[in-house]
Amino acid sequence: MDKYEYWSGLPEVGIVPRAPHAGPLLRHVYEQEHGRGGFAGKVTHTYHLYPPNNWLADETRALDLAAWAPAWDSPLRPLGGTHHALSVDVGGPDMAPDSPGARKRPGAAGALLGHADHDGDVYRGMARLIANATAAMNVTAPRGPMDYFFENHGATMVFFIHQGGGTLDTLLGPLEYRKGDFLVIPKGITHRFDPAAGPQHYWMYESGAGDPQKAESPSTGRFITHSESDYRFPRSLETRNEAGRFEIFSKVGATVTRRVHPTHPFDVIGWRGDYLPYRLAVEDVRPLSADRSHVPPSGHTVFTLPGCYLCVFTVRSVEKDAMWLPFFHRNLDYCETLAYHWGDFFSGGGVVGPGMVTVHPVGLPHGPKPAALRKFMDGANPGVHHEVAVMADFANPAMISDHALGLSRPDYMAAWSAYTTDSRFTFDPNRLADVRALGERLGDARDSLAPPD
Ligand SMILES: [Fe+2]
């Protein structure tokens, strides 16, 4: 049974001393602290067979990120004025082969994501799409396992597994993952992805100024939109007592440092603490819904990050007696990204498909596509929103990368063009009079679910 309960205070696994920094065991093993907030925040202690800084000094190298993972360092440009739909899907349906954007889309995931000249693992194939001062969105489509270990010293990472699955091996033990999972990997934790066979496509959100916090509304509390008990933490250790040459790459900003150790980095015989990697399955997101109003996107927030919030639009009941479409809006402080995972995508109006990412810059109005709005105005109600998408909104100023611009569909601004051609939406000399008459009749009307007068 995939269940993990901690019965006492701080979680712990394996062999640990009576308390951190205390007890005779510390004369025989090597304690290491992984801590946030100076020495006063979340912390985990690991207990090692060998000193954690037993690197081979002659082999330590600092590398440019641009050489090690070229698309991760893709230059950033100011963003505004137009919306973008990015065709970062791996084999999904979308662009016609003769469209201008198709030149940028060689078809193979590796080439698409800019790592054609090596094996394309999770990190060397990472491509930056959007970033602000404290958070970023990236995408990767790994084609093989990592033959090294990785530590992100600059950010805690939130992965969403759009396609694929495998094992995330960490210093604190393994986590199995599959399609639809979030994986949170705290800053500095040594790890390695071992993807299973088959296509892999992940979105990765970096939080540079603080760990993601579980979103909770003051009035709805701990269990909407998910519960902390939905998190799955490592619960087993496979301690490795191995000699050899073990490469660890660590990243901070645009610098990657390689170091080599003579013993396996997963030589941990026990750990204790609350600074941990974890998994959250999207099926365990239980969304807030409302029959008589439209829940705004922020009502679907699962994680807040400094400068960013992450929302999940998942399968849920359609509003019965209210707008079941997004209202037209302009988000005046945040650039919105929406990554489409599965489903009908009612707001997309058939324009977007799985794997694609839309980018709606700060201030620029947007809303339902005309086809979807027509259905709503005609009184249709689909009953259930069959969709899963991940929205990440980035506080302004947000920037877009050259890599993302190369994937941008040239036709996306035309997705709303029926508003200028469909006679239902275009100029009508009688429109003002008609709406005044409707206002007389409907302006003060209530929906049918309201209590009686
Ligand atoms: Fe929006």
Q: What confidence tens digit (pLDDT) does each residue in 228-254 have?
A: 999 999 999 999 999 999 999 999 999
Residue 190 in contact with residue 250, Cβ under 8 Å? no
Distance 312 CA to ligand 1 centre (A): 13
Distance 245 CA to ligand 1 centre (A): 49
The CATH class given to the 12-75+107-283 domain equals: mainly beta
pLDDT at 78: 96
Closest by Cα among 413, 323, 437 to 375: 323
pLDDT, average across residues 256-277? 97
Distances (CA, A) of 143 to 45, 123, 356: 33, 11, 19
118 pLDDT above the threshold of 50: no
pLDDT at 216: 93
Distance 398 CA to ligand 1 centre (A): 15
pLDDT at 93: 34
* Mean pLDDT, all residues of the chain: 90
Distance 273 CA to ligand 1 centre (A): 38
Distance 294 CA to ligand 1 centre (A): 14
Distance 367 CA to ligand 1 centre (A): 6
pLDDT at 120: 86
pLDDT in tens, 294-319: 999 999 999 999 999 999 999 999 99
Distance 200 CA to ligand 1 centre (A): 27
* DSSP at 284: G
Distance 380 CA to ligand 1 centre (A): 22
50 pLDDT above the threshold of 50: yes
Which tokens in the block code for residue 446? 């209530």
26 pLDDT above the threshold of 60: yes
Distance 178 CA to ligand 1 centre (A): 28
pLDDT at 175: 98
Distances (CA, A) of 117 to 69, 82, 120, 152: 11, 33, 8, 23
Distance 366 CA to ligand 1 centre (A): 6
SS3 427: coil
Distance 365 CA to ligand 1 centre (A): 8
Distance 98 CA to ligand 1 centre (A): 29
pLDDT at 80: 87
Distance 329 CA to ligand 1 centre (A): 6
Distance 338 CA to ligand 1 centre (A): 8
CA separation for the pair 337, 358 (Å, rounded): 6
72 pLDDT above the threshold of 60: yes
119 pLDDT above the threshold of 60: no
Which tokens in the block code for residue 48? 């090692």
For β-strands 84-86 and 387-395, DSSP reports them as unpaired
449 pLDDT above the threshold of 60: yes
Closest by Cα among 305, 254, 314, 256 to 285: 314
SS3 109: helix
pLDDT at 8: 58
111 pLDDT above the threshold of 70: no
Distance 296 CA to ligand 1 centre (A): 10
Distance 444 CA to ligand 1 centre (A): 28
pTM equals 0.92
Q: How many CB atoms lie within 10 A of CB 106?
A: 11
30 pLDDT above the threshold of 60: yes
Residue 108 — very low, low, confident or very high, per pLDDT cuts 50/70/90? very low
Distance 235 CA to ligand 1 centre (A): 39
Which tokens in the block code for residue 160? 């969403």
- What are the DSSP E strand ranges found in 19-69? 30-35, 43-48, 61-64
404 or 347, higher pLDDT:
404
* DSSP bridge partners of 247: 260
CA separation for the pair 340, 259 (Å, rounded): 37
Residue 147 — very low, low, confident or very high, per pLDDT cuts 50/70/90? very high
Distance 327 CA to ligand 1 centre (A): 9
Distance 303 CA to ligand 1 centre (A): 18
Which tokens in the block code for residue 123? 């990190």
Distance 128 CA to ligand 1 centre (A): 21
Distance 331 CA to ligand 1 centre (A): 7
Residue 222 backbone phi and psi in degrees, to 5: -80, -15
190 or 115, higher pLDDT:
190
pLDDT at 233: 96
